Amino acid sequence: MQYWKQKNMPRRVLVMLLGIVIMGIGVGMFKLALLGNDPSTALVIAIGDRIGVDFSLVLIVMNLLWFSVEVLFDRKLIGIGTFVNWFCVGPIASFFERAMRGAFGAPEALVQKLGVMLPAILVLSFACALYQTADVGIAPYDALSIVLSKKVKPAYFWCRIFTDSLCVVIAWALGGLIGLGTLVCALGLGPFISFFTRHAAQRLVGVTPRGSNP
């Protein structure tokens, strides 16, 4: 796989692993806040609630379906990060959600829920910056919009909007929770991810920021 040819591979893998752990914490915080999750997570939660199966197990199965798209259409997107994301984010998220619920209880008032969700936005954005900058494999769900943009030719932005919107519609049809958190994740994480990429992730990975002298 092409990812193993990159420089600083051990460092990249460590940053990716850190990003996955933090991502699991962020997803767990969103689940605890009950104000809506990112579109793909909202879909997975809706399916799990409908059939009575834990979120982490449903996520692993859904990733298998999404992974088939990578295998069929763009195997260059596959790397170690693909599989770590696939099998680890769900269990980590479920673990931290239960741990936080046991330690602090479930937030009930809107102010309390916002107090969980707003930090979760920063946590998830930081995690995405680490994971993406490490560049050691694309998560199965994230690969959908990349493959679509290559095959159908519209801009990646519109392909991502399409896949996220489709997840939201299906989740809503299944009776899933669609709320403020879903909207923020679908439309508002970009600036935060860019900030953390420039000011933290690139330094951790050892990547020279664009526009800087090596």
The full set of domain ranges for the chain reads 10-205
Q: What is the pLDDT of residues 135-176, one digit of tens each?
A: 899 899 988 988 988 888 778 778 888 888 899 999 999 999
pLDDT by residue (tens digit) across 50-105?
999 988 899 999 999 999 999 999 888 899 999 999 999 999 999 999 999 999 99
SS3 labels along 111-147: HHHHHHHHHHHHHHHHHHHHHHHHCCCCCHHHHHHHH
